[in-house]
Amino acid sequence: MYKKENKNWGIFREVLNAPGIKVYYPESYMDYQGNTISLSIARSVFNKNNECMGFIFLDVYNSHIRDILNGLNSMVAQDIIIIDKNNYILYNSRVPTDEGSFLNAPYMADIKHGQGYFFKQFDKKPFLMAYSTSQLTGLTIIGITSMKTFFENTASITKMTVTVVIGVFFICILTAIFFANYIFKPIKQLVNAMKNVEAGDLSTRVCLHTWDEIQEVGESFNKMVIRIKELIETAVERQKRLRMAEIKALQAQINPHFIYNTLDTINWIARLYNVYDISNIVNEFGKLLRSTINNEDDLTTVRDNIAIINSYLSIEKIRYGNKFDVIIDVDENLYDYCIPKFLLQPLVENAVIHGLEKKMGKGSLTIRGYRDDRDMIFKIADDGAGMDQKDIEEILNSHPGKTRHSIGIYNVNKRLKLYFGESYGLEIHSQKGEGTTIIIRVPLNWKGETFLDKGCSC
């Protein structure tokens, strides 16, 4: 930074005449280290009172300019001259001794402000003259290239361009092959996996690591195959159980007239000897038996299920007398809807035998049915012996036969899941000594496989 006392020098006058603006000042002199300075960039510094405190200078050595422009010359053989607006020469690669003097060449009349080019002859040889004036610094760069060199460079550039184009072409082909394999290989894997599934191999899985939508398709395919396998296994199990149930039903139908005739004989003997309790038991048992044997449908109406419960409770009332009261509160609007046959009776039986029978004193049994949005809800509650959570889990999860008193509940729970899916089933709430409540949820308008295949005669 120079002090303002130097303001009478040429460059200082330029800076003072342009306050706050960078000034580019061409010159040619040597500093104290012997370096030739060709250009100075300066700016004045003012204080808060807008008084000039001094100047900041940045000196550009001629050697720096030469190093930069020599790099350009190594690419294209040409001569470069840099002049200021007064034609003062800052740099001349062709005649360095002219630096620091004024350019007075015959072609100066063709150089205009801005940029352009023209042709000149020197020693009867054609040359291309190109120039460009910087709006920032006011300096003009002049490039002088012989036409012979120009055409040689043009041929070299053309050759290089063709080489680059060919190289880019092959790179594009390789890139296209890579992306084709990247895209089509996983698609081919998916197609092969689909063919395997179509052939029945549900263990087929695809493992893709493309990290894009194709991988998402592969993951969805795997989930779909797993779901299909689960559905098929569920359907097979359902059909197996239905087939076994049908076989047992056929076995139970062996000579049903003989059973009815035997019950009828017992009924008349009981009446003959005025044992009306036995007669009533036989009648109600006959109704239960007809519901089991005569109806081949898997489904019956809610009305028929309530009738079965009434027949069963009539028999138990004779056995237990007034040991418990029964309240049946089922919405009559549900009576004509279909539910699986013998869905409610086994739960009522379980409440009587394993709940109320063990209760000291008189008990109560409540059977409720109502609509909840798209489902029918049935609640069977007793205030009998009750059970703890361990007993509930054992009853729901034990295979029939392991726990004798859990056969009915297990059967109903399993049938609900087979008919309507895993989201349905029994919900049991119970406490020791306080009683048990079993909740059953059945879809109102279910159009499942069994409904469509078997039909409902309701």
Instruction: Say if residue 263's pLDDT is above 80.
Output: no
Q: Is 287 helix (H, G, I), strand (E, B) or coil?
A: helix
Identify whether 278 is part of a domain.
Answer: no
Instruction: Say if residue 247's pLDDT is above 70.
Output: no
Q: What is residue 32's predicted lDDT score, i.e. its pLDDT?
A: 78
Q: What is residue 447's predicted lDDT score, i.e. its pLDDT?
A: 46
Q: Which helix (H) or strand (E) holds 331?
A: none
Mean of all residue pLDDT scores within the chain? 79
Same domain, 449 and 318: yes
Alpha-helical runs (H) found in 8-119:
10-16, 62-75
Domain final residue, candidates 163, 197, 231: 197
Rounded to an integer, the average pLDDT of 23-49 is: 79
Same domain, 142 and 17: no
- How far apart (Å, rounded) are the C-alpha atoms in residues 295 and 265? 24
Identify whether 254 is part of a domain.
Answer: no
Same domain, 448 and 307: yes
Q: What is residue 347's predicted lDDT score, i.e. its pLDDT?
A: 92
Domain final residue, candidates 164, 197, 230: 197
What one-letter code names the amino acid at 68? I
pLDDT band at 448 (very low <50, low <70, confident <90, very high): very low
- How far apart (Å, rounded) are the C-alpha atoms in residues 450 and 286? 27
Q: What is the CATH number of the domain that holds 186?
A: 3.30.450
Q: Is 443 helix (H, G, I), strand (E, B) or coil?
A: strand
Identify whether 42 is part of a domain.
Answer: yes
Same domain, 438 and 319: yes
337-386 confidence digits (pLDDT tens): 988 888 898 899 889 988 898 888 899 999 999 998 889 999 999 999 89
Identify whether 305 is part of a domain.
Answer: yes
pLDDT more than 90, % of the chain:
11
Same domain, 45 and 138: no
Identify whether 191 is part of a domain.
Answer: yes
Q: What is residue 452's predicted lDDT score, i.e. its pLDDT?
A: 38
Q: What is residue 453's predicted lDDT score, i.e. its pLDDT?
A: 41
374-402 confidence digits (pLDDT tens): 899 999 999 998 988 888 888 887 655 55
Rounded to an integer, the average pLDDT of 207-223 is: 80
Q: What is the CATH number of the domain that holds 410?
A: 3.30.565.10
Q: Which position has the token pair 């040619």?
A: 28
Same domain, 408 and 305: yes
Identify whether 434 is part of a domain.
Answer: yes
Instruction: Say if residue 189's pLDDT is above 70.
Output: yes
Identify whether 263 is part of a domain.
Answer: no
Better-predicted residue by pLDDT, 410 or 296: 410
Instruction: Say if residue 405's pLDDT is above 60.
Output: no
Same domain, 113 and 146: yes
Instruction: Say if residue 449's pLDDT is above 50.
Output: no
The pTM assigned to this predicted structure is 0.43
Better-predicted residue by pLDDT, 245 or 164: 164
Rounded to an integer, the average pLDDT of 197-226 is: 82
Q: Name every residue whose Cβ is closer than 8 Å to that of residue 36 and which is 6 or more positions away in sequence.
A: 28, 29, 30, 61, 62, 63, 99
- How far apart (Å, rounded) are the C-alpha atoms in residues 27 and 15? 15
Cβ atoms of 344 and 326 within 8 Å: the answer is no
Q: How many domains does the chain have?
A: 3
Identify whether 246 is part of a domain.
Answer: no
Same domain, 86 and 33: no
- Domain span holding position 172: 77-197
Domain final residue, candidates 176, 197, 218: 197
Same domain, 389 and 418: yes
Better-predicted residue by pLDDT, 297 or 114: 114
Same domain, 450 and 356: yes
